[in-house]
Homo-oligomer: A and B are copies of this chain.
């Protein structure tokens, strides 16, 4: 037992001592290195919470205006500058900027997403893809919310397959201009935040054509609106009502030979010289494309963080409701039982709560890596670190946003009919987060990206691969490395080695609450699944099956392996975070949560572990019993665990459900 050192004198059969949870101490762990900036955003959310109550009764037009004003105000007050470099007037702290955005996820999510479009996608593209000239001309106004913009990448006909988008940016040497054209309706830009109402300047992704030659996707600045009027040659259509995020003015854009000066090309990685010739510091067009896209990875990290915060709002509401609401007799006539004392209710909510803690650590880790990579002066220096970051960001985003959808739905149902009323937050939480699984990369496509990295070990010789589709990759497959690396006997050796004492039979003898055992199980599953996918790909190719078909048939194995990989990373970051803490009641609480996350993850996939001989039937049942024991152990501190999220009561809302402030309800 990881907690023995704190409870030396209890009788052997008494079980572990009760947990003692201090919300402030737990909050310090969850807030991590950016507690101060998180608190600033918390204060801001408390001040602006009126929008949460009012939004359900505003018209779409009113809501959009309200949201726009809040975004502009956010910029004007200097909050958005945090992540921009000091030389353009920013705070130069990317990690703090991501933490601030994550915390904004406790509030209205239209405000969050529109801020993300303005400062993250639009501002981020100008910063990352542009050069000094663009920075000087635009960044100060963008960051202060004086110049509103759009990030026009997605097209109707090409959602995830960005490399094949079909908008054209042709350089006209005669006039020294770039001519931006939408060739047909399937190439219209679609779902573009800010396009329908507020955006004045768009970063438009298009196939760049210079002197009749195509050079792949590049970004060009195109003014689309001035003084509220759409500019000539630009056509705008409102996407209309959506499932949620109704405060964001998504729209469609068509460009009818719109001319902009040559200087509007965002030319950090490729330029059109004064002589009208195309030049790039990166020769390989695929590598150039992925390098450009890679600079935008912050968006994925940010969306994941927002999903995490939304999950926390839902969990705090549902847990506090479960600690107030009584239903049916408790055995004592006349007294009813608290919802959270029902075994089923604990099963529904507490594993999600444990996973939320685990994912908070995972999100801190990816934020730390992002900060590290992007705070370096040499963008293309450590390519391997960048690829690893991109993979981790993609995988974490997928897992976090699915977690948000699942958690919010479960919490809504756990609040019964009351959860269905808009006043109780779930309407907005559900509707607004729904698209998180799709935007900034469809989750399944992102997991394919993760798998590709794993199968190629991020080696640069594969840099010209299609980032998403993996199809071309299959034909040139060098998966022998993966197959070799993950050969069963080696896998056993390596996993045995990480366990204390390097014992044989590790998987049948180790304590269920030993984190090394839990990690070894997840690592075994990941590597085994990866090897299986690699073998299947190779077998298909060797048999002469067309590569597209091989990939399509192995796709679900590939995605499963990627998901297992991410779950292992999540547990690793949680375990590492807990191990770094001094022995304390807080560490005991987090250890119990880490065990609950690890064992409920193994339990959920126990079919696989049983199939692959890594669990015996009795041991599998023992895991289920241990999960139940952990649920009972965590139950008494559930109130403190959600209080530790530090959600301002005003931002939490749902007054009908949660009742008086946290101090009165916990325990």
> Chain A residues in contact with chain B, CB under 8 A?
56-57, 59, 154, 156, 158-161, 164, 190-191, 239-244, 327-332, 336-337, 341-344, 347, 405, 409, 412-413, 416-423, 426-427, 430-431, 434-435, 437-439, 442-444, 466, 468-469, 471-472, 546-549, 552-556, 559, 603, 605-607, 610-613, 617, 620-621
Contacts and interface: CB of A to CB of B under 8 A. Distances in A.
A600 to B, nearest CB: 13
B606 A617 contact: no
Given A420-B191, A607-B607, A243 B430 contact: yes
B427 A243 contact: yes
Given A422-B241, A426-B243, A611-B606, A554 B438 contact: no
A635 to B, nearest CB: 11
Contacts of A439: 417
A343 B434 contact: no
B159 A417 contact: yes
Chain A interface helix/strand/loop/mixed: helix
Nearest to A348: B444
A327 B330 CA distance: 55
Contact of A405 (B332, B409, B435, B603): B409
Nearest to A409: B405
A416 B159 contact: yes
A151 to B, nearest CB: 14
Given A430-B243, A554-B343, A610-B620, A332 B548 contact: yes
B344 A421 contact: no
Contacts of A336: 161, 164
6 contacts: A242-B427, A331-B549, A337-B548, A343-B553, A344-B555, A607-B620
A349 to B, nearest CB: 12
Contacts of A341: 552
Contact of A435 (B417, B442, B466, B555): B417
Among all A-B residue pairs, the 3 with the closest Cβ atoms: A331-B548, A241-B422, A56-B241
A472 B336 CA distance: 12
A620 B343 CA distance: 30
Given A434-B430, A607-B620, A620-B611, A546 B331 contact: yes
Contacts of A413: 437-438, 442-443
A469 B620 contact: no
Given A329-B471, A331-B471, A471-B331, A240 B421 contact: yes
B435 A420 contact: yes
Contacts of A431: 243, 427, 430-431
Contacts of A444: 344
A417 B438 contact: yes
Given A341-B552, A343-B552, 16 more contacts: A59-B59, A161-B327, A164-B328, A240-B421, A241-B427, A243-B422, A243-B430, A244-B420, A328-B471, A331-B549, A343-B556, A420-B438, A430-B431, A605-B607, A606-B610, A606-B611
A237 to B, nearest CB: 12
Contacts of A405: 409
